[in-house]
Structure 1
């Protein structure tokens, strides 16, 4: 009888331990220590060279390579990384809701966003530019863009820059994705697609667009790409920053730049120093 009592008590303790373990696993990858858990990373699905979901379901792009490297440094195997599409207008909400553990999605660091989320990085310095049709001769450095038909993405810093600083009187169309803007540029509905030169270079390098579009070569702003995390998660920020520093020091950063931007002859800036925001 005594043996059965001890066994029953042990079973109760064991069941409670299992319950506690199960409850603890709800945190997913938030702890950043891997251990076979999944980590969810927000990326773009429609930006060639940056973040693209391929027809076979795989993912490619510079942000994808950065996110994969960082996740591995956090202790996650590649099979445990889940990429989730995160449109520009929903990035802050996705972090606040806990839909993703971090975001690497051409996410420019600015004061408005820093009030809502925290950033690691920067890991790339890009510049706002224009993508125009190859035969376009009316847009060059010094051109007044007011009155021009421009297209960008809702929630992007590029759209805000056009409205607030660069060309307040431009006819700005804001679409959900850059692909929609590209269709408008190809059809002649808009004069230019405006966003970061790194993103534009990715589109220009696509086989189906070669010879059809070109970058205007303007540096309309500085865009410091950071990795967004939930506000207040300083531990995660520190871990990601260490991973980014290692990625640059071991040569992986340069390899990722060449692999994703090389075909477009994109002249990238050197790897930025962590915490150094170029205004």
Structure 2
């Protein structure tokens, strides 16, 4: 009799444990509105065309790529928790496990590869300049000599141009890219420099449509990858998802949607592991 009581009690405890496990089988960051597991993805919140938080939700090329990848991993759009990933915080966020992966104009570099793993690359961008649509004097990087060249605080883009290509360029530092764009529109500066994908994203905004153009100078190669924690098995799964996105045409559609209005001439989708120096 006593044996039956113990057995029954054990069965009750086991049933309770299984129920708790089932309820908690989603990720630690909670459940989606549909009651399923969730995935946490890091993106930029302030880069139009790349990753931007808007009153309507999240938008941009990185958002489209990340959403596609998440779907291939088994997560619907309502199962994604978006987390802002500022440039200086990305490696720390991955190390701590704050996010599952990061798609945030994250260039693959040897230094970063020592700290995190990268899937991809999924976009080959280049450092370029944005010019006024009616600009005719600036046709090459050398033409930036004596011109006012804008970039944002903390960026090395303008300094790179000054040091390597146009030593007489007059560097102007503004707090945001939007401030640089306003300066470019007003004539306070002659050019804005950073990655061409970022420039295209800003120039594609409705209020700037038709006012700017990309120089097409391709001054550096920027291989955008999806960052994951060192040793994560997500890397191989994300690579498979990226290959599928290119194969079914979704990648090109995302490029056209987010960068097309600025006349962005994108490079073909890079092959997985093909990092251009």
TM over 0.5: yes
Interval containing the TM-score (normalised by the shorter chain): 0.7 to 0.9
Partner in structure 1 of residue 151 of structure 2: 151
Contact kept in structure 2, 1:88 and 1:153, CA below 8 Å: no
8 Å CA contact 1:41, 1:104 repeated in 2: yes
Partner Cα distance (2:190, 2:212) in 1: 11
1:89-100 equivalences in 2 (<5 Å): 89-100=88-99
Report the CA distance between 1:5 and its aligned residue.
Answer: 3.4
Aligned to 2:271: 273
Summarize deviations over 1:208-261 as a string: whole Å, max 9, x none: 11243322221111111111111221x111000011111111221122222222
1:166 shift after superposition? 4.9
Which aligned pairs between 1:24-39 and structure 2 lie closer than 5 A?
25=26, 36-39=36-39
Q: TM-score, normalised by structure 1?
A: 0.83
CA distance in 2, matches of 1:95, 1:166: 35
Give the direction of change, closer, same or farther, for the CA distance of 1:168–1:83 in structure 2 (3 Å limit).
Answer: farther
Residue 192 of structure 2 aligns to a residue whose secondary structure is strand
Counting matched residue pairs gives 270
Corresponding position of 2:79: 80
Using the TM superposition, name which of 107-116 and 191-200 deviates more: 191-200
Consecutive unaligned residues of structure 1, counting only runs of 5 or more, are: 30-34
Question: Does 2:3 correspond to 1:5?
Answer: no
1:51 CA drift (Å): 1.5
Structure 2 matches for 1:131-210, cutoff 5 A? 131-137=130-136, 139-141=138-140, 142-145=142-145, 148-152=148-152, 154=154, 158=157, 161-162=160-161, 165-166=164-165, 171=171, 173=173, 175=175, 177-186=176-185, 190-210=189-209
- Residues 89/172 of structure 1: CA separation in 2 closer, same or farther (3 Å cut): farther
- 2:236 maps to 238
Instruction: State how far apart, in whole Å, the 2-side matches of 1:88 and 1:122 are.
Output: 17
Q: Report the RMSD for the aligned CA atoms in angstroms.
A: 2.9
- What is the CA distance between 1:137 and its match in structure 2? 4.9
| Residues 128 and 153 of structure 1, relative CA distance in 2, 3 Å threshold | farther
